[in-house]
Amino acid sequence: MTRILKIRESARDDEFGIIRKQIKVYNLPLLETPTKCLKNLRRGIPSGMSINEVIRRIYPKTIKSIQDGTYESPRKTIWSKFLRNKLNLTIFELMYDSVPNEDEIKTFASYWYAASESTLFLPTVKMGMLKEDNKFSDRKMAQYYGMMRYIIEITEVVGNTKAFIGTIPLIPPKYSRPIVNLYLEKGITSFAIDAGTKDFLNHESDFRAILMEINEQIPINEAFIYACNLGIPRFVQNRARADDFLSLFAYVDAFGSTFKTRGGKGMPRGVGRAKEFLREELSYQVSTYQGFFERRGKYIPNARSFLNNLNQHEQLREANQVRKLIGKTSVQEYFEAKNAVDDFAVKHLGSIAEKVKVG
């Protein structure tokens, strides 16, 4: 039987989709949500951190090197990044344009199991694996469903003591519902929604369809909902609403990193905008890195890494604050104090809570 995370609701805000849960993972301290996940932190780990992400890309050449025995062991490359007494999520992104062959899937599944601790986070994929001529393809989607089913089944048949987290791309309902139902059929009650750098508020119908499909068979308050690769709206002058953070108010228990890039290609070295999370507004201040240095009054070496860590700390602090107010303070009042949370955001967050009725 598939192992699951034990979940108990402790408080709820009925107006907006936000629930405080206690989650018990085998052999780990009790985890409370909603929360922000952190990654690549070895020092200065903030109080209240409970979920640590370790993210790796898997290319065809990676699988070949695993088969040849020339790839480093997961204990050396991945387990060394695990943190004690934390929920360590090993997240693999398959960098394939089509579904790997059966032998490659077997190789991946074996390595993936060894590289995971208490949970098995089913892999995220490139959109190219799901599309033909830039459109979702029934043929390619069927191959994708088959791959995910095969990974689950070959893992279970040899003996599995870890809890699956079923990854669901943020795609139209015609294609997301079968993958949700596959996981439910397999007894999986933890889900990872891969937004693919899209924001939930501007893709509310696709996101809501996933939640509703889950909620029909497993009440959301009994499931674990994680989200990653969350996007934010296009910037207006030097500000952008922090829609990634606002996902916590849409039944998301934990939101993680954005490790995919828009359009599939990264920016050249030395180019990019500094996006600083502002807790008091729930927005990002957007500038050049030179502007970021000027605001802080000094040049900062390794500025990208510094800012990434700063944002993670600030988002975790704010998530911890939100968790405390659930059931005690009106979320509407909380939003009114945040300048970046406009009527559009409030309306759509309220709509998600209204449409996804949790028992």
| DSSP assignment string, 230-258 | ---PPPBTTEEE-HHHHGGGBT-SEE---
What whole-number distance in Å separates Cα of residue 94 and Cα of residue 77? 17
For residue 273, what are its two tokens?
């905008």
Of 17, 11, 24, the residue nearest 248 (C-alpha):
17
Question: For residue 108, with 0-12 CB atoms within 10 Å meaning exposed, 13-18 middle and 19 or more buried, which class applies?
Answer: buried
Of 309, 270, 279, 286, the residue nearest 233 (C-alpha):
286
| DSSP assignment string, 193-218 | EE-TT--SGGGHHHHHHHHHHHHHHS
What whole-number distance in Å separates Cα of residue 349 and Cα of residue 91? 28
What is the reported pLDDT for 264? 46
What whole-number distance in Å separates Cα of residue 309 and Cα of residue 246? 19
What is the reported pLDDT for 266? 44
What whole-number distance in Å separates Cα of residue 187 and Cα of residue 107? 24
Q: Tokens 């032998």 appear where?
A: 103
What whole-number distance in Å separates Cα of residue 37 and Cα of residue 48? 10
Identity of the amino acid at 168? I
- Judge if the upstream peptide bond of residue 34 is cis by omega within 30 degrees of 0: yes
What is the pTM (predicted TM-score) of this model? 0.94
Question: Are the beta carbons of 323 and 252 closer than 8 angstroms?
Answer: no
Question: Are the beta carbons of 24 and 243 closer than 8 angstroms?
Answer: no
What whole-number distance in Å separates Cα of residue 209 and Cα of residue 60? 33
What is the reported pLDDT for 1? 58
Give, in order, the Cα–Cα distances in Å from 99 to each of 66, 96, 103. 18, 7, 11
Q: How many CB atoms lie within 10 A of CB 230?
A: 25
Q: What domains sit in the chain, N to C, each tagged with a CATH number?
A: 6-355 (3.20.20)
What is the reported pLDDT for 208? 96
Number of helical H runs and strand E runs in the chain? 11, 18
Of 12, 20, 15, the residue nearest 323 (C-alpha):
20
What whole-number distance in Å separates Cα of residue 289 and Cα of residue 304? 8
What whole-number distance in Å separates Cα of residue 12 and Cα of residue 221? 9
Q: How many CB atoms lie within 10 A of CB 156?
A: 14
Instruction: Give, for all 359 residues of the chain, the pLDDT tens digit.
Output: 578 899 999 999 988 989 999 999 988 999 999 999 999 987 788 988 999 999 999 999 999 999 999 998 998 899 999 999 999 999 999 999 999 999 999 999 999 999 999 999 999 999 999 999 999 999 999 999 999 999 999 999 999 999 999 999 999 999 999 999 999 999 999 999 999 999 999 999 999 999 999 999 999 999 999 999 999 877 666 889 999 999 999 999 999 999 998 754 444 444 578 999 999 999 999 999 999 999 999 999 999 999 999 999 999 999 999 999 998 988 999 999 999 999 999 999 999 999 998 87
Torsion of CA 61, 265, 140, 62, to 10 degrees: 10
Q: How many CB atoms lie within 10 A of CB 126?
A: 18
What whole-number distance in Å separates Cα of residue 151 and Cα of residue 106? 8
Instruction: Report CA 161 to chain centroid distance, whole Å.
Output: 23
